[in-house]
Structure 1
Amino acid sequence: MTRRYDPDRRTRILRAALDTIAEHGVAGTTHRRIAAAADVPLGSMTYHFAGLDDLLTEAFTLLADTVSARFTERLAAAVTRAEACEAVVDLVVDDDWATPRNLLLSYELYAYAARVPALRSVMQEWMGKSRAALEQHFSPETARALDAMIEGLSIHRSVDRAPADRDEVRGIVARLTGTALPLPRQAGT
């Protein structure tokens, strides 16, 4: 029997774990479901990971690292404080950032971290990266408030029947930062 060369298997398993969590929740995630989603033998699960908690921790770490890198990139592109405020607005309202899948995975991570102390460090590191990105433009206190606002409004936007629109979010950001933001230019003006 020949061994299949599969250098990306571990990463594929981690991505499949996130897909499985998004579809079934943490409670419905099993080695068997992840293996099927990753198209790997069930034995690969225990070969690459000490157990399901280890696998879930690494999968959620991958999620946190991926999302925080995009968050950091968006804020790093801002040159002025007004641009940084607009970046914060984008992080709340643009579907590129707060995708339904990422929000769902974030909810699962929050709930899982509340029950599994080892996951709290993943959440704390994610919050630390978010705040560090915000602190490029804002005081630590303001960065903390903005980080909480981004999380809270993102959650609300995913379930609210009338979620805050871009202008409402822009007003909240302006109040939190003490920055007078210009109104967006209307097409044709």
Structure 2
Amino acid sequence: MPSERRLDPERKSRIVDATLEVIARDGVSGATHRRIAAVADVPLGSMTYHFDGIEHLLEEAFTRFALSISVKFDELLGAAKTPEQAQEAVADVICGDFWSKDNGRVLTLCYELYAYASRNPSMKSIMQDWMSRSQRALSQHFDTRTAIALDALIEGLTIHRSVEREPTTRAEVLRIIRLIVEG
């Protein structure tokens, strides 16, 4: 009778999740097959069985990560029914716990993806797809140029707020959003 470990239909998915966990903890440079296998609780051989190499695994993991953030972003903006609610939703993304959940894991993964994408063309396309999805979500409420500007604002202010000694207040963020929206 095969062991329960051998019959593991979720193994590949668990490896991808473990990859994100390792990247959040140790960075892309620390994401080794051995560390990921240990976190996923799978035999080391499973890594090369399911993935052509570490690059393939990183692409799968970052794609999953970007899609998960896009879904949450789209839901938040999709819930807005008025232009004012849409502006409030953008402020919530920047100032709320959208990026800081799990002790900043989401923001850390964003930093890692940005840095890795700056040196890796396949990761750059993951970032470009993510940006397109974000801008489409914003375009539910704003014209294209405004959506692009708000997307850049979200990314920039989120990074700034994560390192500022005195983060920009929500009221000030909302004022900046209104300036962009109103032109």
Q: TM-score, normalised by structure 1?
A: 0.92
2:157 partner amino acid: L
State the alpha-carbon separation in 1 of the partners of residues 128 and 61 from structure 2: 16
Question: Are 1:138 and 2:142 matched, yes or no?
Answer: yes
Question: Are 1:23 and 2:10 matched, yes or no?
Answer: no
CA RMSD of aligned residues (A): 1.1
- In structure 2, the partner of 1:98 is 99
State the alpha-carbon separation in 2 of the partners of residues 62 and 117 from structure 1: 17
State the alpha-carbon separation in 2 of the partners of residues 168 and 43 from structure 1: 52
Q: Of residues 80, 83, 101 in structure 2, which corresponds to 1:81?
A: 83
- In structure 1, the partner of 2:117 is 113
Identity of aligned residues (%): 55
| CA deviation string 1:1-28 (max 9, x = no partner) | 7242111111111110000000100011
Spell out the pairing of 1:124-163 with structure 2 (5 A cutoff): 124-163=128-167
* Unmatched runs of 5 consecutive residues or more in structure 1: 180-189
- In structure 2, the partner of 1:182 is none
- In structure 2, the partner of 1:13 is 15
* Unmatched runs of 5 consecutive residues or more in structure 2: none
Spell out the pairing of 1:54-65 with structure 2 (5 A cutoff): 54-65=56-67
What is the Cα deviation at residue 165 of structure 1? 1.4
1:50 partner amino acid: D
Which aligned runs of 4 or more in structure 1 are off by greater than 6 angstroms? none
State the alpha-carbon separation in 1 of the partners of residues 105 and 33 from structure 2: 21
State the alpha-carbon separation in 2 of the partners of residues 21 and 110 from structure 1: 13
| CA deviation string 1:147-187 (max 9, x = no partner) | 000000111111111111111111111111018xxxxxxxx
